[in-house]
Chains A and B, each alone.
Chain A
Amino acid sequence: SQKIEQNSEALNIQEGKTATLTCNYTNYSPAYLQWYRQDPGRGPVFLLLIRENEKEKRKERLKVTFDTTLKQSLFHITASQPADSATYLCALAFPLYNQGGKLIFGQGTELSVKP
């Protein structure tokens, strides 16, 4: 069955540094991959989508890479700020013709940015 693994440990970094979060998957060829942010007690919020034929996507201070050979996505936050502290989830998508394109979520990586 499909398996998704994110950084198992919480990530602690200093303000201003770049945070890099990892998402690895097995037994799967996703149509696209998404990253979400989740704050405690709240629903996840969509950040970025990257398709299987794209290598990199950027949005403001965020950058996502997608390597289908390594079966890995990296999520970078540059010039990190304490407000970036949250749990970040990666999600892999089935093609739309397969179960409506459902998402499978990783367990998330908790990021803490210290001032």
Chain B
Amino acid sequence: EAQVTQNPRYLITVTGKKLTVTCSQNMNHEYMSWYRQDPGLGLRQIYYSMNVEVTDKGDVPEGYKVSRKEKRNFPLILESPSPNQTSLYFCASRGQVYYEQYFGPGTRLTVT
């Protein structure tokens, strides 16, 4: 089954404790991205990757890092999380025909 998986699904952490949210897709897509979704602000792109070792900032990259060492994986790293990073995070990969985004199930992060 074609899918994007994310882990963990839920995470509660404290300010300053580094964390990584993993993302993996099994569709051989080149383009992947991370979004955060907040009430009243909608989905906003954090980082995107055009292919292995090619990443770039989206609209809200501050406080986040990413890496793309393999085509299927695109982890999101929060080096020093802060409460304003409490949000619902989605990883997505993009199809090559209709450029449709396939979203993961989401990771709900709470930083206290």
Residues of A within 8 A of B (CB): 32, 34, 36, 41-46, 49, 89, 91, 93, 99-103, 105-108
Contacts and interface: CB of A to CB of B under 8 A. Distances in A.
15 contacts: A34-B101, A36-B101, A43-B104, A44-B43, A44-B101, A45-B103, A46-B100, A49-B98, A99-B56, A100-B56, A101-B31, A101-B94, A101-B99, A105-B42, A108-B42
A107 B42 contact: yes
A103 B45 contact: yes
B74 interface: no
A43 B106 CA distance: 6
Given A102-B58, A107-B42, A46 B48 contact: no
A107 B94 CA distance: 20
Contacts of B90: 43-44
